[in-house]
Amino acid sequence: MTVLIDEAVWPAHGTVWAHLVSDADYAELHDFAAQAGIPRRAFDNDHYDVPEHRRDDLIAMGAVPVTGRELLRRLQGAGLRVRQRDKH
């Protein structure tokens, strides 16, 4: 069970954003996010959006940095990926 974070490359709202996911289950992800003070509203179906300025702190807390491709592969492998067309 690992919490993963990709590169912050997604621009919006005056910053760039990274994705925080679990390769095991959503409970692990929500627990990690709560401990990091990330609000639940930042959760988007299968990941948390986190601003670039939080990335190093999250890595220091134990999130493992990976590429966006690796993050997607691990999320799909865990059966936790929610495809864009399936999002509400």
User: What are the structural domain ranges in the chain?
Assistant: 3-86
Q: How far apart are CA 48 and CA 18, in angstroms?
A: 8
Residue whose token pair is 């590169």? 7
What is the model's pLDDT at position 29?
Answer: 96
What is the model's pLDDT at position 41?
Answer: 95
DSSP for 25-72, please give it: -HHHHHHHHHHHT--GGGB-SS-EEEEGGGHHHHHHTTPEE--HHHHH
Q: How far apart are CA 52 and CA 18, in angstroms?
A: 6
What is the model's pLDDT at position 85?
Answer: 63
* Residue stretches of the chain with pLDDT short of 50: none
Q: List C-alpha distances in Å: 86 to 17, 51, 54.
A: 22, 24, 28
Q: How far apart are CA 77 and CA 60, in angstroms?
A: 25
- The predicted model scores a pTM of 0.89
Query: What does residue 71 show for φ and ψ, rounded to 5 degrees?
Result: -60, -45
What is the model's pLDDT at position 82?
Answer: 79
